[in-house]
Chain A
Amino acid sequence: MQGITKNDLIIRIGGEGGEGVISVGDFITQACAHAGLDVYTFKTFPAEIKGGYAMYQVRASTERLYNQGDTFDVLCAFNGEAYNMNRASLKPGTAIVYDSPGDFDPEIPPGVYAYPIPMSHTAKEMHNPRAKNMVAMGALSILFNIPVESLREVIAAKFTRKGEDVVKGNLDAFERGRELAAALKKTDPWTIGTPKSKKDVIVMSGNNAVGLGALIAGLDFFSAYPITPATEVAIYVAKHLPKRGGTLIQAEDEIASISQVLGASYAGKKAMTATSGPGLALMSEMLGMAFMAELPCVVVDVQRGGPSTGLPTKHEQSDLFLAIHGGHGDAGRIVLSVESIHDCINLTVVAFNLAEKYQCPVLLLSDGSLAFSTQNVPYPNPDDYHVVERRRWDGESEYHRYQLTEDGISPMADPGTPGGAHIATGLEHNEAGLPSYTSANHEAMQAKRFRKLKGVVNDVDPVEVDGEGTADLGVIAWGSTIGVVREALQRLRAEGYKVSGFYPKLLNPLPAQQFEDFGASCKRLLLPEVNFQGQLAHFVRAETSLRPESYTICGGMPFTPEMIVNKVREILA
């Protein structure tokens, strides 16, 4: 079985929820990452609680991966539904591994390599019908050179708790799948490349990575209300926060969760909540109070398809207007946006640091694509992170909670500090915190609160520039679209195009100067984003002299590198 090594292979596994589709995807992901490959996965769960179509796509490569890719190279169909759902994507050159005899008899389009494997039949024959997925995985492993030793280790590790019989049953089915596939003539050219070396990595989803980042930052208090696709942040934190004596509470609604977060913050703790657009909308009033009363807090928004209830399980980047300007009465806040799983860890730490330093709400925007995607990330050593604590009153000078200072930052005092008693209030107040509605005071206090935000751009890496010199076209992207653009630009450069990328991670306050500098190095600008109105393009036009061409989609899926490549070719034609 000789194939052409493809450095970069995408395998999509589809079947009925409960058939082990997700497990196979997880096993392959774990094994590839274990062996030293880069992985980037993507999955969809059935909308139904039981049954329904489940899909797991694994992209594995010897090179660095930034996104889930264009489409799959290999489809593994457990049933007819999986075949039907993906039939349109079976292009010449792709391969299909399918259950045969099964509940369907696929028409194989010309140029598609087909490998019928008796998955259900073999598992039944082995008196282990639940091991259908292991038969399939065995076949995949030999057909496409998925690191087999790593797979065996992962299977053993996964089932050890269930006893030796279960381990053996699954391994036997896996080996049988390998034998069945070995007997077939391999006609396609695809095999996964052999990794150069093992790497010290972890594999995580975006939602878990946000939770981990919070733990690294010293999270004390977490309150949230369940909402798709953000709930897994709470699930991760609920599992681990009590171990460090932290507090996790499920609130009665999102208003209560942000309220509890602010109460905990006032009490001196590092506090956060995680939600999606509808929840963030409910929190808007309290975020205004957090700005007014200068209470540190971190709010994670895992964006989903909107407006209203929208497309709860689908991907969209459409909460930027809400994140930056949602709320009444001229309030400020810091808005960060993550590109990758790595960012989900690192920028969550940054979010806490900024909240503590600037005593204001910090919003971290993730999205539905990152929420459930997993990637390998270099092992994060907690000691390598710089963790910031809020400026606290020294207990000596006379204490005014809202003292007007040069940088706008006034020391806080935790309850229990003698002489530090003060009020945190949503009313406009003077330096002592007492209500004051004079125009001079309101102007001075607004200036103080906004003055703080001026320092933010110097505390973070606000943007990343991808490329050097003058470009015929510059692509500006935010959130998970960045990873797609990175790969598209690599392909375009290989074709000889002069293109650059600009990836802002700090979206408010907008690093306008960096935008201007980048704009000056490009003849034209393109700004792809997954929302209808072109929300970042709107802010760029409002706050800089740049006039990027907006490229928007809102079909519930992320961009693919191919879409960006085609768009750029079209513009530069």
Chain B
Amino acid sequence: MNAHPQFHLHKVELKPKDYKTDTPSFWCAGCGHYGVLTGLLRSLSEIGVDPNYLVSVSGIGCSSRLPYFVNSYKMHTLHGRAGPVATGVQLARTDLSVVVTGGDGDGFSIGGGHMPHLARKNVNMTYIMMDNHVYGLTKGQCSPTSRTEMKTTTTPYGGVEEPLDPVMYMLTYGATYVGQAFAGNVKLATQLIKDGMEHKGFAFINLLSQCPSFNNIDTAQAFKDACDQVSDGHDVSDLSAAMNAVNAAKQACRIPTGLLYKTERPTLDERMAELVKRVGGYKDYDLRKIIDLARP
């Protein structure tokens, strides 16, 4: 089911490269984010998204530069604030397709307070988390998803904190679409992004993306080796099954990938539209009647 009207109304035929701007990338050679960008460009092409009706929103970090490379309307906002800014865009113009891209520090540390509300409110957007377990733009500090033992510039003797699990977090807070992939697996990443964009509601996709410059533990090979795609028999509509799969993988020091959970629930904008209809919005709106209420 297509969530976004413009997928029908403004369907275009463009190749992935047509969605790419000529702005030169500033990512390091070997960065996992290239895989995410490729996956996104392919998804846009496969769906046929009209770049004029796409708004790409990001916060701050290496990954948050991604909108510069995508042909669309876009906002490069503040550290941690991509989610609520994108919420404003989406609620203001429900005919737009909204994609957020950002990193683990941006989304789960400084912006962590917003994530539960994007999920529980079921804001109709796709949130692509480019999770490299490290702060790259500030040159190597631990992030909320860094492994405890990892040595970074701020944890020179190793860390003292437990990492959070992005997919478990989003399952818990009520995201209606949760998927995970290694960014180097462009095929799976593309499939999840495309499916996520077509999903009606808040789609969260965690893409494990190696940082060759500041994280020498979670290398491309390490991510690749640790990923286990959920079996064909996995019931994506079963929240407990998704949580169990994530837990089981964690016990085994593995990373569960693929579509973990997907459900249908009215989106925030749908509920608001229903409310407007219920109170007779538009139809008999007369500002004078509202002002008259204040007559003595």
Interface residues of A (CB under 8 A from B): 29-34, 150, 154, 201-204, 208, 212, 215-216, 220-221, 223, 240, 242-245, 247, 249, 251-253, 255-257, 259-269, 271, 285-286, 289, 293, 376, 379-380, 382, 414-418, 420-427, 434-435
Given contacts A267-B89, A416-B52, contact A421 B285 (CB under 8 A): no
Q: Are B75 and A425 within 8 A (Cβ)? A: yes
Q: Which of B164-172, B185-193, B244-252, B287-295 contacts A (4 or more CB under 8 A)?
A: B287-295
What are 22 A-to-B residue pairs whose CB atoms are below 8 Å?
A201-B295, A202-B295, A203-B294, A212-B291, A216-B287, A221-B92, A243-B281, A244-B281, A249-B91, A251-B117, A256-B81, A256-B113, A261-B88, A262-B88, A263-B88, A265-B88, A266-B88, A267-B55, A267-B88, A414-B93, A418-B52, A426-B76
Q: Are A243 and B290 within 8 A (Cβ)? A: yes
CB contacts (< 8 Å) of B294 on chain A: these are: 202-204, 208, 212
Question: Which of B83, B92, B93 has the largest count of A CB atoms less than 10 A from its CB?
Answer: B92
CB contacts (< 8 Å) of A204 on chain B: these are: 294
**Contact with A416, one of B90, B96, B116, B279 (Cβ below 8 angstroms):** B96
Q: Give the CA-CA distance A216 to B87 in the complex, in Å.
A: 25
Question: Which of A382, A414, A415, A420 has the largest count of B CB atoms less than 10 A from its CB?
Answer: A415
Q: Are B296 and A203 within 8 A (Cβ)? A: yes
B window 54-84: CB within 8 A of A: 55, 57, 67-68, 71-78, 81, 83-84
Q: Give the CA-CA distance A416 to B96 in the complex, in Å.
A: 8
Q: How far is the CB of B82 from chain A (nearest CB, A)?
A: 9
Q: Give the CA-CA distance A231 to B52 in the complex, in Å.
A: 37
What total count of A-B pairs have CB within 8 Å? Answer: 183
Q: Are A263 and B76 within 8 A (Cβ)? A: no
Q: Are B52 and A212 within 8 A (Cβ)? A: no
**Contact with B96, one of A154, A242, A267 (Cβ below 8 angstroms):** A267
| B27 interfacial by beta-carbon distance below 8 Å | no
Q: Give the CA-CA distance A374 to B108 in the complex, in Å.
A: 45
Pairs of residues from A and B, 8 with the lowest C-beta to C-beta distance, nearest first: A263-B88, A260-B88, A259-B84, A264-B92, A202-B294, A33-B296, A267-B92, A256-B84
Q: How far is the CB of B105 from chain A (nearest CB, A)?
A: 16
Question: Which of A201, A208, A264 has the largest count of B CB atoms less than 10 A from its CB?
Answer: A264
| B86 interfacial by beta-carbon distance below 8 Å | yes
Q: How far is the CB of A37 from chain B (nearest CB, A)?
A: 10
Q: Are A260 and B291 within 8 A (Cβ)? A: no
Given contacts A215-B287, A260-B85, A415-B52, contact A376 B296 (CB under 8 A): yes
Given contacts A242-B275, A262-B85, A264-B89, contact A416 B281 (CB under 8 A): no
| B136 interfacial by beta-carbon distance below 8 Å | no
CB contacts (< 8 Å) of B89 on chain A: these are: 263-264, 266-267, 415
CB contacts (< 8 Å) of A215 on chain B: these are: 287, 290
**Contact with B291, one of A380, A414, A435 (Cβ below 8 angstroms):** A380
Interface residues of B (CB under 8 A from A): 23, 51-53, 55, 57, 67-68, 71-78, 81, 83-93, 95-96, 113-114, 116-117, 268, 272, 275-276, 279-282, 285, 287-288, 290-291, 294-296
Question: Which of A215, A266, A414 has the largest count of B CB atoms less than 10 A from its CB?
Answer: A266
CB contacts (< 8 Å) of A421 on chain B: these are: 51-52, 71-74
**Contact with A252, one of B52, B74, B114 (Cβ below 8 angstroms):** B114
Q: Give the CA-CA distance A259 to B100 in the complex, in Å.
A: 14
Q: Are A154 and B296 within 8 A (Cβ)? A: yes
Q: Give the CA-CA distance A242 to B296 in the complex, in Å.
A: 24
**Contact with A260, one of B23, B87, B281, B287 (Cβ below 8 angstroms):** B87
Q: Are A424 and B75 within 8 A (Cβ)? A: yes
Q: Give the CA-CA distance A452 to B280 in the complex, in Å.
A: 40
Q: Give the CA-CA distance A271 to B84 in the complex, in Å.
A: 14
Q: Give the CA-CA distance A474 to B46 in the complex, in Å.
A: 71
Q: Are B52 and A423 within 8 A (Cβ)? A: no
Q: Are B77 and A245 within 8 A (Cβ)? A: no
A251-B84, A263-B75, A382-B291 provided; 10 other pairs, C-beta below 8 A?
A34-B296, A242-B272, A252-B84, A259-B77, A259-B88, A263-B89, A266-B55, A266-B89, A271-B92, A426-B76
Q: Give the CA-CA distance A504 to B98 in the complex, in Å.
A: 43
CB contacts (< 8 Å) of B95 on chain A: these are: 416
Q: How far is the CB of B104 from chain A (nearest CB, A)?
A: 19
Closest to A260 in B: B88
CB contacts (< 8 Å) of B71 on chain A: these are: 421
Q: Give the CA-CA distance A251 to B51 in the complex, in Å.
A: 29
CB contacts (< 8 Å) of A414 on chain B: these are: 93
